[in-house]
Structure formats: C-alpha cells, structure tokens
Chain A
Amino acid sequence: MMKYGWSKLAILVAAALAALSGAALAAVPAMPHYRFENFTTANGLPDNHVYAVLVDGDRIWAGTNNGLGLYENHHWKTFTTKDGLAHRAVLSLAVDKRTGDVWAGTMGGLSRISGGRIDTFTQLNSGLSNDVVYGVSIEGENVWVATAAGGSRLNLRTGQWDLYNERDTPMVEIWVYGVSATPTKVYYAVWGSGVLEYDQKTKLWDRYEDPDGETELVLFKDQGLIHEITSSVSYVDNVLWVSTYFGDSRYDGRYWHNFLTKDSGLPSNFTNVVKGVDANHAWFCTDKGLAYYDGKNWAVYRPSLTTGKPEMMVRDAQGHVTEVPVTTAPAHNYINNIDFQGGDIWVATSKGLSHGILQH
C-alpha cells in the first residue's frame, strides 16, 4: 500500500508538475528578445549619463550630461558648447524628418544641428520662453518645445515664437516636461498640471487631469489620467500615452486605461518616458527597468535589481510572471529614453547607452 501509495503520489506529482510546466511554458508569450550592446565613456560615449537618444537612419544621437554624441560608422563624435551647443547637458532630441535637421533641448537653450552647423536659441537671443528645454517635437514647419517656463513654438518659416503658459492656456504649473506634436493634436506633459491638448484645427486648448486631484491615491482607476505629475507624452495612431511618476495612462479619445505596478507588468510606477509604437504597443522607461507592452503582455528588460545580472521578465495577460533566461541587459535599470531602429531599440540609461539588437 505504502509502495503503491508513494508510486501513485509520485506519478500524480510528476503529472501535476508536467502539467504545470507545460501550462507555464505554453503561457509565456512571445515577447521580443534582444542582445544588448552597451556604450559607455570607455568606448566613446561622451558621458554615461544619457538623457535622450534619437535614431536618425544609420546615425544615433545621444544627449548626455556632457555633450551630444553622434554614433556613425562605428565611431562616436561629440558636440560640445565649443561647437556652439547651447549647453553641455542635452535633455531632449528630435529630428526633422523632412530636412534631416536635429533639434537638441538642453539645460541652456535649444540647438539645431544642421549639416554640421549648430544654431542656438536661448531666452535671451530669441523668443524661447526658457533655457531649460525638457522636450522638443517637430511637426511640419513648427518646432514645439517644452521648457521649465511653459511651452514654446517656433515657426521655421516666419521665425515667429508663440509661448504657452498660465496666461493663455489652462496650465496651472508651467514646468513642462514633455511634448508630442502631430498635425492634428499637440500634447504637453506638464509636471503637476496633467496633460494639455492643443487642437491644431480649432486652435483650442484642453486639459486632462487626475480625477483624484493631486492625491497619490487612485480612487477612480481608468476614469482619467493616473496622476498630475506627468513626465512625458506620446501621441501615435490617435492614442495618447502618458507617463507620470505615479503610473502611466493610455487614452484613446474616449476611454482611459491606467497602468500601475500592482496590476500590470510595469516594473515601477516612476516612469520617466513612455513612447508609443502604435495604438496598442508602447515602451515604458522606468527607474526599475525598461518595459514593453504589446497590448496584453509585458516584458521587462534590466540588470537584476539584486544581483545585477541580465534579466528579462515576461508577464502574460493573466498576470503570470516568467523569467526568461538572457545573457545581456540594458546598461542600467534607470531608463531615461528609448528610440527605435527597425526592430532594434536604443536605450538611454543613467549609466550608458544600450543598443538592443532584436534576436527573435
């Protein structure tokens, strides 16, 4: 009996384990796998503290704490204030796809890099509202800028600057962290003031706030913006993605959906940047790793917060979390920015720039 009993138990356990294992294996969604190659000052990056990254065809621009790096033909070139850059700390980057000009928001103004020449716009020599430029976005002939003292728009054809602040928009705070401009809508992420929407057709402003007010409690999930302390916006395929320091939001024009660590695959609610790939796919740059959301499932890429070893965690729609063996990870878990190069990703971290080369 004992023998039979143990055998039966062993079979049952084995069967259960097999079933669980099979179920687990079957449940792991196919999320993208990358091999990360990391750049630091040791291999030419101007500085390890990378605020922004921009893919411009075969060229990679890195906005660092100590200059603007350009990676081209396997070599880094650094632009500094000696070259005319507005400030050594480059916080944001955008490329004008029509002209190829690159715009760099810095701690000391806005710079345009065009054919190797750098032109700088500051609050003293131009209509720019403030020299601390957190965000920049190009839309047609307009350069939209997020600054520490409101938003600005430069019309490249007329040279006219328009400023957006508490005097002419529903902006309560004027500390503007991010901007996403398209021909139809322009969104500003205003730190402490939610999201501002500018309708290009009607030229009217609207504001999206946290229905809970400034409280960090989430009383009304999915009924509005997750928090007032917004850090970035990304408007793509008529869907607005918003990152805050207390979770993230997706808004399709009718419904809001919020993401928190407790009910999503976000590794942290503290999100520096969200960048939408399309209406259903987005990347989240958090202080605890890089997260990818495919509309149902999540993947997190980072060095382990405990061991520092490369780590990839996949969370399926049911909330099952699986660790996927990997051998490489982004240079650091504190992620500041991301951009896409075909299937590859480039990731700006606080300890280097990472090139995620798509494996499968």
Chain B
Amino acid sequence: MSRATQGRMRFWLVTGLAMLAAAACVAAFWSGSTANAVVTGRTGEHLIYPAPLEMVFAPGGNRLFVLCNESDEVRVLDAQSWAEVKRIAVGHEPRGLSLSPDGKQLFVTNSWDDTLTVIDAGTLDVTATWHVGAEPSSVLEDRAGKHLFVANRISNDVAVLNAQTGEEEKRLSAGRGASYMTESPDGSRIYVTHVYPNASPHRTAPESEITVIDAERATVVDRIPLHSIAGVFHAALSADGRLGAVAELHPKNLVPLAHLEHGGAFEDTLTLFGADVGNRTVEVPLDELERYAARPFGVAISPDKSRMYVTSGGSELLTVIDVPRLLRYVRLHRAPFVQDLAASANYVVARIAVGRDPRGMVFTPDGSRLLVANRLSDSISVVDTRTNQVVSTVAIAGPRKVSVLHYGEQAFYTARYSFQGQIGCANCHIDSTFDGLEWDLEPDGFGRDIVDNRLIEDLKGTNPFKWNGGNPDLPTECGPRTEKYFWRSENYDDLTLTDLITYMRSLPSRPNRWKLPGYELTAAQARGKAIFERSVDKFHQPIPLQNRCSYCHSGPKGTDQKSFDVGTKKPTDDMSKFDTPQLRNVALTAPYLHDGSAATLEEIWTIYNPEDKHGRTNDLTKDELNDLIEYLRTR
C-alpha cells in the first residue's frame, strides 16, 4: 500500500471517526440519552433546572411522563429512545403525578399554587386546573373514576374531589404533612404517608402514621402507627397486596448527638406491614456500619415480589433488597431490628450509585428496568433489574451551566459531607423546611438545652441564628457549627459553603394560606392585629415596651433579631434569654418556644406565660387570644 493510499485511508478513517463521533453527539443530544447536560462552568445566574421528581408510564408503555419540580413541567419522553416529545407547563412546584385508572388522564398536584392540573394523556393538552387544599402533594383517582384523592401537606388532610368536576366534596383528617399516597393492588385502600410527625407529648418519641382510606366510601378506616418515626415518604405494596413498605426516617432526637458509630442522628429505615409480616409493623434498617442509606425516599417492589428498591436522597444511591430473604429474616429473628446495623447485610443485595437526590422510581412495563429520577442531577438512571447495574443515564434537558444555587442545593441535600455520609441538611429540613421535632443537639448531658427545629425560609434579615443567638450569620451557622455538631467533619471548602449559603438565602417564604386574597384581614385577624400592636392593656395600664408583642416581633418578618428572657427557661436550660424567632408562616411550625414545649400556639400563652413575660396576655379573654392567634397565622 502506497504512502499516499495510507494517507488517504488515514484521512478518511479519522474523518469518518470524527463524523461518527459528531453524529453520535448530535444524536445523543437530541435524544437526551447522554449522562447529563454539558457543563461549561459555574455561574451566578438564576437558572431553572428540570429537577425530575416523579415518573409514570403511559398505558402501553410508549411514553414516560416525568414530573419536573423546578421547571414546573411534565416532560413527555418517548419510552424507546427517551427523546423528548413534549413539555407540558403545569403549576408552581409540582410535587405529585398519577394516571387515571383508565389511563386517559394525567393528574399533577402543584404544591405552591394549591392547584391540580388535569392533562389529557392522549393529546397531552391541559384540560383543567382545579383549586385544591394547602400544598397538594400527591393525587390518586379511585378505580370507579368517582373520586380524586389529594394529599395536602400543610392542611394535613386528604381532599376528596368529584373526579368529573373537581369540586371538593370533603376533607379527611390525615396525619401531619400528608404527602404521598399509594393504593392497594385491588384499589380498595389508599395508604397515605406524611413528612412530619403527629403531635406527641414533649420529649417523647415521635409518632407518625400511615392513614388508610377506604377508596369506595372515601373515609379513613385505619391508621397504622409508626412509633419513633418522623418523616415518611413513599409507600409501596406488593402485587399480591400482602406486603407493604414505607421509606422513613427514625430520628434520635431524644439523646445528645454524641454517639456516631451507629448513626448519630438518624436511622434510615423501612417499616413493613401487611399479611407477609403477620399484619403488624416491622421496622428494618437500611443502614450498615459505614454504609448509610441516608434519607430514604422512594420505595418500589418488583412485580414478582422478589426485590424491593429504595432510593436514598442523601446517600445518592439505590438500595436493592431481596424480599424473600428480608421476610425470612424478620420471621426468624426477634424484633426490634432497627438498632442492629448488621441486620441489613442479611437482605440488602446491592447498593447502586445513582444521581444526586434520587427520588421517585418506576418499573418499565416489562419489569426489566427500573427508572430512578435524580432530582438534582436532572437525569434518570436506568437500572437493569436482573444485574443491578445502571445501564444508561437519561439526561433531562436543562441549562448547560451549573449555577451556584444548583451547587448549593446539591450541597444541602447530599449526605456526603457528614461523617460516614450519615446525614445531610435535608434530614432535618425536609424539602428545605423543618421536621417538627425538638432536638437534644449538644453533648452537654442528657436532656439539656433542648431546641426546637425552625423553618429556614426567607432567612435574610433574621440573624443571628441558633436559639441562643450564638451564630451571627449563616456562614457560621452552616459552616463551623454544622460541621462541628452535625457533620463531625470539616468537609466544606469555601466554595461549597458559599454555594450552600447562597442556596439557603435564596429559599423564599411559601405562600401564607391564612391570608385572604389581596391581604385584607378578616374581622378576627384585624382584632388580633390590634392586640398584637397594643400598648395599653385592658385595664388601661401601659404595657412596658418589652412586653408588647410588636416590640420583639417587629419588622416585616416579626423579629428584632435580639434575645430576650420571656420566662420560658426550663430547669434543663443553661440560659434564660432566647433569640426572637421570625413569625413567617408560624402557623406551620409547631411545636413552639425554644424547646418545643408548647404544642400549639395557644399553649404559649395558656400554659407558658404565667407572669406575662412573653407579652402581656393574661388580661385577654379566650376570644381575644383566639383573635391574636388568627392574626399570627397571617404572618
């Protein structure tokens, strides 16, 4: 072969390879099947990412509907090529989606709009938008097509809507933070899980529940108690209906966070229920020593009940459980299992790395693949259910740059910065809110300096932080303090800490559901406002400045950013002055006071203000106290 020929061949070979590569890149880009969007650098821009959260296949399996939490869309993908077919705009912060039993309609709950979007699953057009309850987080239609059930996170209930008109017929009392629903295989029961624990006596273990609804009668027929659990996410039932499982957090909030080797602050667990476990509840750990499954979220059971899959948002992995081995283990061993981190080795068969903050899952119709939505990677991991390998990663098209905010959000939701990857910020600040718990944080003795967890929205202008006001700013609060007390490591570099704080400062205050449209006040709220702002008591005596509500709780956020002794020091407290908390969305954040001792807003004054140090309130009638609380709910 001549040199010239060789040169021509080399030229054509190189050219051909280049063209093939280019074609592959183009094809990959258009089909959305590359690992992720091309990153061209960190940016301070406020970019909107898709943030895939939940998925469902269309009947027949030819399309995949992907709920994108940040871009407020449903992305419709071709289920063969994963190419994007359509983007359907929905409401703000969509959180849940489901198909009607006949497959003709797709329902989406928009958590910040308090709306439900109805989409024609065939034409992919939005056909209706219905108003529902406060922070709707998931939706299911019953098999008869009579009712839609909507879990409302803030109003702690399940709304029952007429499935044809969207008219709300009633609300069923659920647990606190009602968020996710799963129906039994025969459709007769709906199981509701909750991200916050129910109210329980101060300094007792949290109590959560699975609310069980009779779908035909649309009434609550049972509540499966989940002892010591706070933060319950997805539930799954086996195809034969004999085994149920919920992904959950088991906090250790009653003891100081001093003991790390068995999970310092949380156990990451499942609770099993149903006939396969004797119609009782059995809590089983997902963690192993040094291999934590931080912040379990999604749970799915394979159609043949051989495997159970659990996503862990903090650990960014998918745990695969051998169901027969799991059932054998719980039958042959004596509960409780949760403290035994050697237990999971008996039934966990794989831990598969996926993307960042993995959330919802769905099986392909043939069950050969499991798709995992990686919310903060904007991708879907495709897992071979036979080999337990990620066989491909589907990118959900989004910005090609990664913003500081996006990095910050990733830092917030990951557990990689803590000792052994045990916890992340989102463990206690569920979905960037709070957890409804009081904690014994510092290793200063059992039961000392108990602190209530606070909301972290709209933080600008609310420093200092910590109940003792000890941290002057977020870099201190989130940096050294967090590393010292929570992470027990020094893993943040300056850039990561900056990202994290930028993200936290960006968290807005969620809409206040007690405010009327237009922000006018009801009669009761107006009377309460007058009490809040009064300077003279009912006996015409002037109220000292520091005893007026509006003095400490001043400004638009209801804090003067100072500490006061309001008479709430307990024998277990080392100090008597506490930081004035902001009042934004105060109605949502029970319990109250620095240590969470007041179960309700009322108890702040009916029980814990005997000397009028926490505002002059003992001259008020019960009516007037109710008015004051009605006003506070609007803050």
Chain A residues close to B by CB (< 8 Å): 98-101, 112, 114-117, 119, 123-127, 129, 141, 149, 156-163, 165, 167-168
User: A53 vs B603: C-alpha distance in the bound complex, in angstroms?
Assistant: 32
- Given A156-B171, A161-B626, A115-B600 contact (CB < 8 Å): no
Q: CB < 8 Å: which of A98, A129, A158, A161 contacts B169?
A: A98
Chain A positions within 8 Å of B621 at CB level = 167
- Residue-wise, chain B 446-468 has the 8 Å CB interface mask toward A (1 for contact) of 00000000000000000000000
Chain B positions within 8 Å of A163 at CB level = 622-623, 626
A165 touches B623 (CB 8 A): yes
Interface of A is mostly: loop
* 3 A-B pairs closest in CB distance: A115-B220, A100-B219, A127-B626
A160 touches B221 (CB 8 A): no
Can you list 30 A-B contacts (CB < 8 A)?
A98-B170, A99-B219, A100-B220, A100-B221, A101-B220, A114-B173, A115-B173, A115-B220, A115-B221, A115-B222, A117-B198, A117-B209, A119-B173, A123-B606, A123-B622, A124-B602, A124-B603, A124-B606, A125-B599, A125-B600, A125-B602, A127-B625, A129-B622, A129-B623, A149-B622, A157-B155, A159-B587, A160-B626, A160-B630, A162-B524
- Residue-wise, chain B 606-620 has the 8 Å CB interface mask toward A (1 for contact) of 110000000000000
- Residue-wise, chain B 169-196 has the 8 Å CB interface mask toward A (1 for contact) of 1111100000000000000000000000
Chain A positions within 8 Å of B337 at CB level = none
Q: Tell whether B552 is near chain A: CB-to-CB under 8 Å.
A: no
User: A125 vs B607: C-alpha distance in the bound complex, in angstroms?
Assistant: 9
Q: Tell whether B211 is near chain A: CB-to-CB under 8 Å.
A: yes
Chain B positions within 8 Å of A117 at CB level = 198, 209, 223
**Interface range on chain B: under 10, 10 to 19, 20 to 34, or 35 or more?**
20 to 34
User: A168 vs B171: C-alpha distance in the bound complex, in angstroms?
Assistant: 30
Q: Tell whether B564 is near chain A: CB-to-CB under 8 Å.
A: no
Q: CB < 8 Å: which of B155, B221, B623 contacts A167?
A: B623
6 additional A-B residue pairs with CB within 8 Å, beyond A99-B170, A101-B173, A163-B622: A101-B220, A114-B173, A117-B198, A119-B173, A127-B625, A161-B626
B170 touches A127 (CB 8 A): no
Q: CB < 8 Å: which of A112, A149, A160 contacts B524?
A: A160
- Residue-wise, chain B 145-171 has the 8 Å CB interface mask toward A (1 for contact) of 000000000010000000000000111
A115 touches B212 (CB 8 A): yes
Chain A positions within 8 Å of B155 at CB level = 157
Chain B positions within 8 Å of A161 at CB level = 626
Min Cβ gap A55→B in Å is: 16
User: A114 vs B198: C-alpha distance in the bound complex, in angstroms?
Assistant: 14
- Residue-wise, chain B 5-39 has the 8 Å CB interface mask toward A (1 for contact) of 00000000000000000000000000000000000
Chain A positions within 8 Å of B222 at CB level = 115-116
Chain B positions within 8 Å of A119 at CB level = 173
Min Cβ gap A293→B in Å is: 34
B220 touches A114 (CB 8 A): yes
User: A193 vs B309: C-alpha distance in the bound complex, in angstroms?
Assistant: 65
Chain B positions within 8 Å of A167 at CB level = 621, 623
Q: Tell whether B629 is near chain A: CB-to-CB under 8 Å.
A: yes
User: A141 vs B171: C-alpha distance in the bound complex, in angstroms?
Assistant: 9
B607 touches A99 (CB 8 A): no
Q: CB < 8 Å: which of B173, B602, B623 contacts A99?
A: B173
B524 touches A126 (CB 8 A): no
Q: Tell whether B112 is near chain A: CB-to-CB under 8 Å.
A: no
Q: Tell whether B329 is near chain A: CB-to-CB under 8 Å.
A: no
Q: Tell whether B514 is near chain A: CB-to-CB under 8 Å.
A: yes
Most interface-central of A101, A116, A141, A149 (chain B CB within 10 A) = A116
User: A254 vs B7: C-alpha distance in the bound complex, in angstroms?
Assistant: 112
Min Cβ gap A267→B in Å is: 39
Chain B positions within 8 Å of A157 at CB level = 155, 171
Chain A positions within 8 Å of B599 at CB level = 125
Chain B positions within 8 Å of A149 at CB level = 622
A115 touches B623 (CB 8 A): no
User: A116 vs B219: C-alpha distance in the bound complex, in angstroms?
Assistant: 12
Chain A positions within 8 Å of B223 at CB level = 114-117
Chain B positions within 8 Å of A98 at CB level = 169-170
